[in-house]
Amino acid sequence: MEGVRKWLKIALLVIPMTTIEVRAVRVCALRFSGSPTELVASIARDCSKYGVKHTGDQLAGRVHGFGLKASYEIRGDILTVSIDALPFLCSWKKVQRIIAEKAPEYGACMIGEE
């Protein structure tokens, strides 16, 4: 995972900051344990750690930076993530893999996608 992040940082320095607008919004649904407040705090902490901006609360919010544009909504124990734009060199399959790998750190697991 760290190797992918290092490669992405280097690529972003070499390639202009362009994004690919996703033709159709991609959506992932995750079931999580714990409180929505703790989940959002973890998301905000990771966003700031990687220089991605986060706005929102325990019900809904947005993240954006480095070509990524996404929003989330929390209802009960379901986190729904909508991806609006991806960095130029990042495929949807890579995003799916990163979400699936990162989800357990948040006490979550992927339950569906559109």
Look at the chain and count its residues.
114
For each of the domains in the chain, give its residue range(s) and CATH number, in order of start.
19-113 (3.30.310.80)
Looking from the CA of 91 toward its CB, the CA atoms found within 13 Å total: 3
pLDDT averages per 10-residue partition of the chain, 114 residues: 57 50 74 94 91 94 91 95 86 86 91 79
Phi-psi region of 50 (alpha: psi -120 to 50; beta: other; left: phi over 0): alpha
Q: Which DSSP category does 38 fall into?
A: H
- Closest C-alpha among 28, 36, 114 to residue 75: 36
Q: Which pTM value belongs to this model?
A: 0.75
The pLDDT assigned to 16 comes to 45
